[in-house]
Copies of this chain bind each other. A is one copy, B any other.
Amino acid sequence: MATINEIARQLGVSISTVSAVVNRRGYVSPAMRARVERALEEAQYRPNDMARGLRLGQSRTIGLIVPDLTNSFFARLMRGAEDYLASLDYRLLMADSREEWQRQREYLISFAGRKTDGILLVPCRSTDEQIATIPGLIGNTPLVYVDRSPMNPTGDSVLADNVRAGYAATSHLLELGHRRIAILSEPLDLLNGADRLEGYKKALRARRVALDRNLICFGGDTEDSGYWCGLDLFKRGVPPTAVVVCNNLMTLGLLTALRDARLECPRDVSIIGFDDFEWCPHLSPPLSMVRVPAAELGSAAAKALMRRLRGADGRPPESTLLPAQLVLRKSTGSPRQPG
């Protein structure tokens, strides 16, 4: 309620003196300091961030856009970012693009309108041209891509080591004796989808298992797409004996498809998914997953953004890769008839 002006007038001192006390800078005598501090305390003074922000040209606010707020993976990512930023007294402006380009576009524009000092973006699926317009939308607000990024990011990016993760998941299945391994991939417009598929291919190549294009399905980030791809896969003459599923919602859909196709996991089909979440141990069967360090992605991205804000303007875009981890539970096992 009280402003710095009112405090100054009330005390009969100048605004700048009060400001000096508030910000602990400049020369203020101990007596004066005490007097001002008392008044500040009494009036419950809190600086107006908009005024300060206007003057300083910064808002101490970071915008974070994710494709799905309710996906526990992104929630954990958010928390990682929020945690780090809160410790630096930055606030977090949240937005949910719902995997829709139009929404993401609006949020980017809105955030860039000088309200946020920087932007953390988990981009939604979109075409190359759409992605190319992002720099224009945000002007010169620093931006860091998190978890997903365009093929050639113009800004910093913080991703999981998806090639290695895809490689590890596939290798695990190969070691169990599987040869007909399908992959439920994400679209290839963004790096993480492409990288996971890349890892899958690499693992097959390393074991000299021929790549069967029919075993590569493309879904989205929904349970439904997992369900339909799964159904398609299992209704074939020779269904795969194992599936790598590239995100957590598709994994759930695949589980339903499995049930509908009267197949049992892991007896008939082994499944390994991505983006481990807290209920995986309670599912039937408990799912083997690739654990992508969501919270760490969030905090690492926030850190990268802060580095930019502290004036690493000129430096070229940096790309950080975080290791993922295989968590084995009960959804993977040896195939009934190897080969």
Contacts and interface: CB of A to CB of B under 8 A. Distances in A.
A48 B56 CA distance: 13
B95 A46 contact: no
Interface in A1-41: 1
Nearest to A2: B139
Contacts of A93: 61, 91-94
Interface stretch (A151-159, A192-200, A210-218, A276-284): A276-284
**Interface residue tally on A, bucketed by range:** 35 or more
A114 B279 contact: no
Contacts of A112: 46
A114 B54 CA distance: 14
A78 interface: yes
A110 B95 contact: no
Interface stretch (A67-75, A124-132, A178-186, A236-244): A67-75
A95 B82 CA distance: 7
Contacts of A256: 282
Contact of A283 (B86, B91, B279): B279
| Residue from A113, A255, A256 with most neighbouring chain B CB atoms (10 Å) | A113
A252 interface: yes
Interface string A220-244: 0001000000000000000000000
| Residue from A53, A69, A75, A256 with most neighbouring chain B CB atoms (10 Å) | A69
Interface of A: 1, 44, 46-51, 53-54, 59, 61, 69-70, 72, 75-76, 78-79, 82-83, 86, 89, 91-96, 109-110, 112-115, 139-140, 223, 252, 255-256, 278-279, 282-284
